[in-house]
Amino acid sequence: MLTKHDFVRRYKLGEFGNAAPTWNSLKEWQDNHDNAWLYHIRNRVAGGSTFYSLAHQQVPIIWKTCGVDPANLYISAMAPHQHNLIQGEVQQSERHLDLLWTDVPNLPMRDALAARVMQSSGIMAVLLLRKHLCSRSYEWLQYLLEAYPLHVIEFSSFSVNWGTVPKHNTVIWEVRSY
């Protein structure tokens, strides 16, 4: 993955497995959203502004007033962070698995990592992932590590199944090499 724009296009097509329900535009979201959910306005620009925990009434207002080009925005359902187990970034290095992670409850990954970040590598990283990811999610993560060598894979794992693929407790937020 060389650009965030390329990643977002492929993410929406489901290439990276379990994900948050996602809409590419405000119009697409308006035509297909569920009023009961909270939402996250995400940015197609790496490191760009993101807006968490928006009620459905807030989404169009923030979309139109946030000062970001709408072509760079997309919308996802807000993950059930009240059920956080582990979140972070994992990468297969040349020698072993490297894991940057957090177990801070109730926060999205970016905020949770800012609050407390830990590092594990090798067998300790594997043990943490096996402990918190259901077997299907762990197998999918292994596939992504092999299919996208030296890429960073951002993920969140929950104590409940959630996302676009049934019976998975882990969503993939990003696969990047940019």
Indicate if the pLDDT at residue 171 is higher than 90: yes
Sign of CA dihedral 73, 78, 79, 83: positive
Whether 62 maps to a domain, the answer reads yes
Domain shared by 55 and 130, yes or no: no
Domain shared by 102 and 152, yes or no: yes
Domain shared by 72 and 112, yes or no: no
Domain shared by 107 and 134, yes or no: yes
Number of domains the chain contains:
2
Domain shared by 85 and 111, yes or no: yes
pLDDT value for 33: 84
pLDDT value for 1: 67
Domain shared by 65 and 100, yes or no: no
Whether 5 maps to a domain, the answer reads no
Whether 134 maps to a domain, the answer reads yes
Domain shared by 88 and 164, yes or no: yes
Last residue within a domain, chosen from 77, 105, 124: 77
Domain shared by 46 and 103, yes or no: no
Domain shared by 126 and 51, yes or no: no
More confident site: 34 or 74 = 74
Whether 32 maps to a domain, the answer reads yes
Domain shared by 99 and 31, yes or no: no
* Residue numbers of the domain that contains 124: 81-176
pLDDT in tens, 9-65: 898 888 999 999 999 999 999 998 888 889 999 998 888 899 999 999 999 999 999
pLDDT in tens, 77-125: 999 999 999 999 999 987 899 999 999 999 999 999 999 999 999 999 9
Domain shared by 116 and 140, yes or no: yes
Last residue within a domain, chosen from 77, 102, 121: 77
Question: To the nearest whole number, what is the mean pLDDT of the chain?
Answer: 94
Whether 13 maps to a domain, the answer reads no
Whether 9 maps to a domain, the answer reads no
Whether 14 maps to a domain, the answer reads no
Indicate if the pLDDT at residue 69 is higher than 70: yes
User: Span 149-172, mean pLDDT?
Assistant: 96
pTM for this entry = 0.89
Domain shared by 95 and 138, yes or no: yes
